[in-house]
Every structure is written in C-alpha cells, then in structure tokens.
Amino acid sequence: MKTKESRFKVHDEMTAPDGSLPVLKGALAAGGQLSNFVGVLAGSPAALRAYARFRSELRQGTLPARTQQRIALAVAADQQSEYALAALQRSARNAGLGVDEIALAREFDSGDEREAALLRYVRGLLAGDGPPPRHLHEEAREAGWEDEQILEAVSHVALHSFANLVTRAGDVPADGSVEEGRAVRAA
C-alpha cells in the first residue's frame, strides 16, 4: 500500500536548513514527536520561526485553552482541513473538551453560551470579505468577552488559517504516516 507523500519535503533535525534548527532543537528538548506540518514548515526557517513565535505568544494570551481549541476546530472544519481536524481531536480532548463540545465547535457552536457567542463572531469573520456583522461583535462583548480576547480570537483564526493553507498547499499527510518517524515534538 502506498502512503500519501507531501509535496514539500518533511524535514527533521537532520535534514532541516540550519536556520530552522534552533526551533527544532527547542522542540527536541521538550520530547515527543515532530508533526508533519512542522517538518514541512522547517523547509523555510523564516516561516517556521514566524509560526513558532506567533503560536507561543498566543498561548500566553488571555483566551482559555478550551476556547483556543474550539476556535481551531471551527476554523479547521470551515476550511475542510482533514489534517488539522485529525490532530485537533486529540488536543481538544486533552484540553478537557468532550466529544459533544468538539462536534459543536466544528459547527461554530457550544453548549456554553459565552463560548457560542465568540464562535458565532468567528464564523462571521470567516464568512465574508468585509467585517463580521456588528451585532456579532456586540453579542461577543455582551457575553463577557473583552476586546483583548476578541483580538486574540481573530489572531487564532489567522494562525490556524495559515497552518491549514500550508498543509493544503503541501498536501501534507496526517501525522502517523510513514513520514513521521522522528523523535521530536511540534514547535
């Protein structure tokens, strides 16, 4: 049986350009495995560093991990990223989301009305070329989301959209494929 291959080389710490090594070595120190996405992104040191910095800063933001996971699931479902959806199933569960909440997030919804209001805003952001409808912004604020958190939500949409574009452009195979035999962790 032939395994799907990426259009881009999937790098590890032995094949990546020198400029990508600091990020990959940092990931190595944490243990685990390098995702195919990060292995592909390592082919461009600038893109890898930008992604790692953006992701790191957002992790230190004010949005709860569960909210971040809900946004990632909604974006992945909206953009039909099978790669991201496969990875997010596990990370969302690890963040404490149940199967029902994962399914709802994929539909821009939640059993928690506060979370649902923010996800409706995210859907409005992705739905058109202009700004999301004003009422969705106001609903998110009325549900208790501060402007800082709404801006972080927009940033998470951008981060996950970027990752989805890379995996789509490279036709990157899901992790666990033959290409993933490396013993480093995603950045």
Where are the domains positioned within the chain? 65-166
The model's pLDDT over 147-181, given as tens digits with 9 standing for 90+, comes to 999 999 999 999 999 999 999 999 999 887 433 33
Lowest pLDDT segment from 19-33, 45-59, 61-75, 131-145? 19-33
Question: In angstroms, rounded to a whole number, what is the distance separating the alpha carbons of residues 95 and 35?
Answer: 19
Sign of the C-alpha dihedral computed for residues 174, 38, 151 and 148 taken in this order: positive
The model's pLDDT over 100-127, given as tens digits with 9 standing for 90+, comes to 999 999 999 999 999 999 999 999 999 9
Q: In angstroms, what CA-CA distances link 177 with 5, 54, 146, 158, 180?
A: 9, 27, 41, 27, 6
Residue 183: the pLDDT is 34
Residues 6+ apart with CB under 8 A from 151: none
- Helix, strand and coil in the chain, % to nearest 5: 60, 0, 40
Residue 1: the pLDDT is 40
- CATH code: domain 65-166 is 1.20.1290.10
Instruction: Tell me what the pLDDT averaged over the chain comes to.
Output: 90
